[in-house]
Every structure is written in structure tokens, then in C-alpha cells.
């Protein structure tokens, strides 16, 4: 069972009344709202009723946003009720900032300001990675307790050492190296991305992450310090053998190693291997190193971009068609729940058929014939289909080209 803080946001009487007011201003019933929000399952309108009556204290963000969008609400309609809560910082963040500030009082003023800015950057990074905000701050606050290096375990009374709190010097070292690694990885990930583009047909999508992982191991060995060069060579050969044992061909392994070599050579010639960030650069970035997109992520984004753009344009066409047909149905005084929702479902199917086969195809005509007996006002069906076809043909130029089979 999920536990919520006493200060967690809840739907109070003022907000519930405001939601009901926005829905009634639009002239929508709960059943019509459920249809417009695509919650047509049995009991879909009952969830909206529970929200307005205060029976749903912690609804999801998507649910509330869909409700407000369906009502045609703007941010200004509920801003006055949310400003009071949103103006307060998170409780954990307040405690963490106070703990860090207390512990840094022993440092000079200049170092205090710099370390506080670095700490805020690290807190933002931990939030982005989903880590606890005060995992380090609480450990520092309980430094005396942590002096006892062991604590009882769960199996047979075994003990294990506690994680030691991070010192200021260790934190600075970690932050500086995160900037250095980001600078290196920016060059390497570009070379790896170019290599994976050439290997797109040889490395299946399910193995891209593994292939990129071997490439990063090559690059890590090249940038690591070895007292003897023979140890570096043996480490590279060991990774090559492991990659081949995983089923990658000689060409794939060679191109991954070449990408690592090219990146290392470019860093070496440009002098970037000896680069270190200045204090001003770290403070300007709030202690958070620039994010470098991984090669496999860039490949997935390249493949998903046409699909995303197509879905976005189709959603726009669908909304325009529903608005146009819905306006005509309102003038004809067709009921929402027992009339207009059938037209809206049909329009969704028509837009999908038009995208797949076109507005002059037999599938388009078959969809019209299939839905005509189900729709009220049958004489309006052909006119509604013509309106959808005109809107689709007007906006289809924005659709990305379909991939060639």
C-alpha cells in the first residue's frame, strides 16, 4: 500500500468544486466526459464522479490533465488553487540543504558557496536518476553513528561494513571527473554512433546495447592508465574474445575497436585527454556534467522519429475532424452519449483507414457502409465522411513518407 506524506497534495473541496464548475461550463455530463476522455469501459464515468466527490484523494497526473483538457480549461483556471502548494519547496530538499549548509560551516566562505552550488547540482542529478535526495546528507548527519563500521545482518547475525559518508575532497574529485568523462564520451559516442550506423544491418536491434557495451569497454581500456603497455594489449584482446564468444562477427568487433581507437586518437591529438574543467565552468553548470546521449539511444530515436511525427499529425487530423463533425452534430441537437460518441469512434477508424489505404480506397467505402446502420441521422453520414476526407487531404502533406518495404 502506498504511503503518502502528511504534506502531500490532496484534492480539497475548492479544487473539486472548480473541476465540476469547469465541466458544467462546457455543458458535458459525466458520461459524455468519459467518452471524450476515451474512458468508455464500464464504470468509466464513475471514476470522474469519485474525483469530483473527493473519493479519489490521489488521482494520477494524466487523469487530471485529460479531465482539464476535455473541459477546455486553461492553466489560469486552476492556477490560484495550485500556487499556494507549488510555492513550497520539497520537505526533503529543505532538510538536505540545511544539513549540507551546517556541515560546510567549517570551510571558508568562498569554498562554502562553491560547494553548495556543486551540492545542488548533485542533488539534481540524483533526482534525475531516481535516487534518494538525502542518502548522503543523512549519512553525514549521522557520522558519529557510522563510526561503528558494522551492523547486524539478516542471515545468521553476520555483519557487513556500512557505507562511509563521502568527504568534501571525494565529492570534488567525483564532480571534476564527471566533467572530464562527459568531455571524452561526447567524442567517443559520436564515433560509436557512426560505426553502429554502418553495422545497422549486421547487429539486430536487441543486441545493440551489448555491442555498444563492448565498444565502451574498448574505449575505457584505451583511456585507462597502465604501467605496462602489454597489459593494455592483453586487456583489449580479452574483450575481443568475449565479444566474439557473444556471437558478434569479426567485422563488428573490428569496427567497435576502430571507433574506440579513432575517439582516443582524436582526444590525444586535440589535447582533450589532459583537459580539466575550471571552477567557473563547474559552478556555471551547478556541478552537473553535460549529458551525453548514448549511441544506441540515438539510433532508437532516429527510428522512432517518423512514427512519432506520423502519430502527432494523425492525432491533429483526428481532433480537427471530431471538432468539425461535432459542431455540426451540436447544431443538429444530437445527444452526446447516445449519438455523438458513435460518430467519434467512426472518425477514429476513418482517419486510420485513410492513412493506410487512402480516401478513395474500397476500405474507406467499406467503413462507411459498416457504420451507417449504427449511426444516428443516416443522411448525415456521407457528409461527415466528406468532411473527414477534406481535412485529411488538407493535412496529409505533413505526414512523413512511409518506409519502403
Q: Give 139 or 363, the one with higher predicted confidence.
A: 363
Give residue 143's pLDDT: 38
With cell 503518502, the residue in question is: 4
- Per the CB < 8 A criterion, the answer to whether 14 and 54 are in contact is no
And the C-alpha cell for 294? 548514448
Angle between helices 13-26 and 61-70 (to 10 degrees): 40
Q: Mapping DSSP to helix (H, G, I), strand (E, B) and coil, where does residue 247 land?
A: coil
Angle between helices 229-245 and 208-223 (to 10 degrees): 170
pLDDT of 134 strictly over 60 = no
Give residue 146's pLDDT: 41
Give residue 99's pLDDT: 66
Give residue 2's pLDDT: 52
Rounded CA-CA distance 327/315 in Å is 18
Give residue 150's pLDDT: 42
Give residue 241's pLDDT: 93
| 130 pLDDT tier (thresholds 50, 70, 90) | low
Ramachandran category for residue 181: left, alpha or beta (phi over 0 → left; psi -120 to 50 → alpha): alpha
How crowded is residue 164: how many other Cβ atoms within 10 Å of its Cβ? 12
Give residue 260's pLDDT: 92
Averaged confidence pLDDT in the chain: 78
Annotation: CATH topology of 13-86: 434 Repressor (Amino-terminal Domain) (1.10.260)
With cell 464500464, the residue in question is: 42
Give residue 248's pLDDT: 92
For residue 151, the cross-strand partners are 160
Give residue 301's pLDDT: 80
And the C-alpha cell for 60? 494520477
Rounded CA-CA distance 222/233 in Å is 9
- Out of 60-74, 142-156, 191-205, 275-289, the most confident range is 191-205
Give residue 135's pLDDT: 40
pLDDT of 328 strictly over 80 = yes
Q: Which residues of 150-160 are buried (b: 16+ CB within 10 A; e: fewer)?
A: eeeeeeeeeee
Give residue 233's pLDDT: 92
Q: Give 7 or 195, the one with higher predicted confidence.
A: 195
Q: Which of 305, 378, 316, 380 has the alpha carbon at shortest distance from 351?
A: 316
- The whole-number average pLDDT for the span 97-111 is 66
- Per the CB < 8 A criterion, the answer to whether 42 and 87 are in contact is no
Rounded CA-CA distance 150/289 in Å is 34
Rounded CA-CA distance 150/183 in Å is 39
Rounded CA-CA distance 52/15 in Å is 9
Ramachandran category for residue 221: left, alpha or beta (phi over 0 → left; psi -120 to 50 → alpha): alpha
| Dihedrals phi, psi of 373, to nearest 5 degrees | -65, -25
| 395 pLDDT tier (thresholds 50, 70, 90) | confident
- The whole-number average pLDDT for the span 202-210 is 89
For the chain, give every domain's residue range. Answer: 13-86, 91-142, 172-292, 300-398
Q: Which of 118, 65, 70 has the alpha carbon at shortest distance from 286?
A: 118
Rounded CA-CA distance 30/36 in Å is 10
Lowest-pLDDT range of 83-97, 136-150, 173-187, 246-260? 136-150
| 179 pLDDT tier (thresholds 50, 70, 90) | confident
Give residue 251's pLDDT: 93
What does the DSSP assignment read for 25-61?
HHT--HHHHHHHTT--STTHHHHHHHHHHT--SS--H
Give residue 76's pLDDT: 75
Give residue 45's pLDDT: 74
Lowest-pLDDT range of 1-10, 126-135, 202-211? 1-10
- Out of 76-80, 275-279, 358-362, the most confident range is 358-362
Angle among Cα 10, 11, 13 to the nearest 5 degrees reads 130
pLDDT of 207 strictly over 60 = yes
pLDDT tens readout for residues 240-263: 999 999 999 999 999 999 999 999
Measured in residues, the chain has a length of 405
Give residue 144's pLDDT: 37
With cell 512523413, the residue in question is: 400
pLDDT tens readout for residues 334-389: 776 667 888 888 888 999 899 888 888 999 999 988 888 888 888 888 889 999 99
Give residue 50's pLDDT: 79
Give residue 221's pLDDT: 92
How crowded is residue 230: how many other Cβ atoms within 10 Å of its Cβ? 9
pLDDT of 56 strictly over 80 = no
Angle between helices 362-371 and 341-357 (to 10 degrees): 170
- Alpha carbon of residue 18 to chain centroid: 30
| 167 pLDDT tier (thresholds 50, 70, 90) | confident
Amino acid at each position: 500500500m502506498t504511503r503518502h506524506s502528511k504534506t502531500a497534495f490532496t484534492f480539497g473541496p475548492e479544487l473539486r468544486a472548480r473541476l465540476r464548475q469547469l465541466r458544467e461550463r462546457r455543458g458535458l455530463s459525466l458520461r459524455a466526459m468519459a467518452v471524450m476522455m476515451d474512458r468508455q469501459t464500464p464504470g468509466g464515468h464513475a471514476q470522474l464522479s469519485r474525483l469530483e466527490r473527493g473519493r479519489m484523494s490521489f488521482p494520477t497526473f494524466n487523469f487530471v490533465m485529460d479531465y482539464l483538457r476535455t473541459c477546455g480549461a486553461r492553466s489560469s483556471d486552476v492556477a490560484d488553487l495550485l500556487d499556494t502548494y507549488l510555492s513550497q519547496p520539497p520537505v526533503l530538499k529543505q532538510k538536505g540543504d540545511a544539513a549540507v549548509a551546517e556541515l560546510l560551516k567549517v570551510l571558508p566562505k568562498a569554498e562554502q558557496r562553491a560547494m553548495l552550488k556543486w551540492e545542488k547540482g548533485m542533488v539534481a542529478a540524483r533526482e534525475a536518476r531516481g535516487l534518494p535526495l538525502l542518502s548522503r546528507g543523512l549519512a553525514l548527519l549521522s557520522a558519529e553513528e557510522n563510526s561503528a563500521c558494522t551492523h547486524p545482518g539478516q542471515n545468521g547475525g553476520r555483519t557487513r561494513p556500512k557505507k562511509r559518508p563521502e568527504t568534501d575532497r571525494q565529492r570534488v574529485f567525483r564532480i571534476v571527473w564527471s566533467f572530464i568523462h562527459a568531455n571524452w564520451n561526447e567524442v567517443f559516442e559520436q564515433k560509436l554512433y557512426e560505426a553502429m550506423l554502418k553495422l545497422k544491418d549486421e547487429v539486430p536491434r536487441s543486441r545493440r546495447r551489448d555491442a555498444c557495451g563492448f565498444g565502451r569497454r574498448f574505449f575505457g581500456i584505451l583511456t585507462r592508465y597502465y604501467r605496462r603497455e602489454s597489459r593494455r594489449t592483453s586487456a583489449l584482446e580479452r574483450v575481443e574474445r568475449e565479444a566474439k564468444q557473444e556471437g558478434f562477427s569479426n567485422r563488428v568487433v573490428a569496427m567497435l575497436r576502430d571507433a574506440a581507437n579513432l575517439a582516443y586518437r582524436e582526444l590525444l591529438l586535440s589535447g582533450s585527454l589532459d583537459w580539466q574543467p575550471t571552477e567557473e565552468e563547474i559552478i556555471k553548470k551547478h556541478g552537473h556534467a553535460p549529458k551525453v546521449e548514448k549511441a544506441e539511444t540515438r539510433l532508437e530515436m532516429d527510428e522512432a522519429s517518423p512514427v512519432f511525427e506520423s502519430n502527432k499529425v494523425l492525432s491533429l487530423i483526428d481532433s480537427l475532424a471530431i471538432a468539425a463533425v461535432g459542431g455540426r452534430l451540436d447544431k443538429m441537437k444530437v445527444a452526446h452519449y447516445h449519438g455523438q460518441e458513435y460518430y467519434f469512434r467512426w472518425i477514429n477508424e476513418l482517419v486510420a483507414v485513410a492513412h493506410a489505404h487512402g480516401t478513395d480506397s474500397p476500405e474507406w467505402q467499406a467503413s462507411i457502409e459498416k457504420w451507417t446502420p449504427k449511426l444516428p441521422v443516416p443522411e448525415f453520414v456521407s457528409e461527415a465522411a466528406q468532411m473527414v476526407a477534406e481535412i485529411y487531404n488538407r493535412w496529409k502533406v505533413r505526414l512523413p513518407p512511409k518506409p519502403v518495404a
